[in-house]
Structure 1
């Protein structure tokens, strides 16, 4: 009797899990996300590179914020990659129009 019960459970368990998964996926796929103007991303970016090692790219609301973030990232990544963090310089900085 135990074998019969186990088979009955196995026969409906997998289809039930698949149906629940599809229902949850369909429910999430129909939701739309609305962003306010402030959440659409920053309009300025900057890239800083050291003389050796990895550099850093960063976005910011203002050009000065992007430059500062990219320098901070450059120093962090150059230090991790065995480069020279003290030589980081901003090589590109722009704002989208």
Structure 2
């Protein structure tokens, strides 16, 4: 009797699991992923030769690309101040620690 019950149970378990997993995948497929921080927030590095990194004494820093060294440094300082403030750090202590241009 238990063998017959097990076969009856297995006949609907597999299709049910398959249907549930397909429904879950279909529900997630339409949602775009969102990141709280993306490299695109600092500006596109397409065609930009120079980059700079600024960090505070506490909190998150900022990396940025720019056409010139001064633009990259300015953007990285702005990003550092923004991200340090958001992360509970010290925005007023941001300093550019690295800046250079690619050849």
TM-score by length of 2: 0.56
Inter-partner Cα distance in structure 2 for 1:56 and 1:69: 8
TM-score by length of 1: 0.59
Offset of residue 87 of structure 1: 0.1
1:14-66 Cα deviation digits (max 9, x unpaired): xxxxxxxxxxxxxxxxxxxxxxxxx9420000000000000000000000000
2:56 is matched with which residue? Answer: 50
Inter-partner Cα distance in structure 2 for 1:40 and 1:76: 23
Cα RMSD for the two superposed structures: 1.3
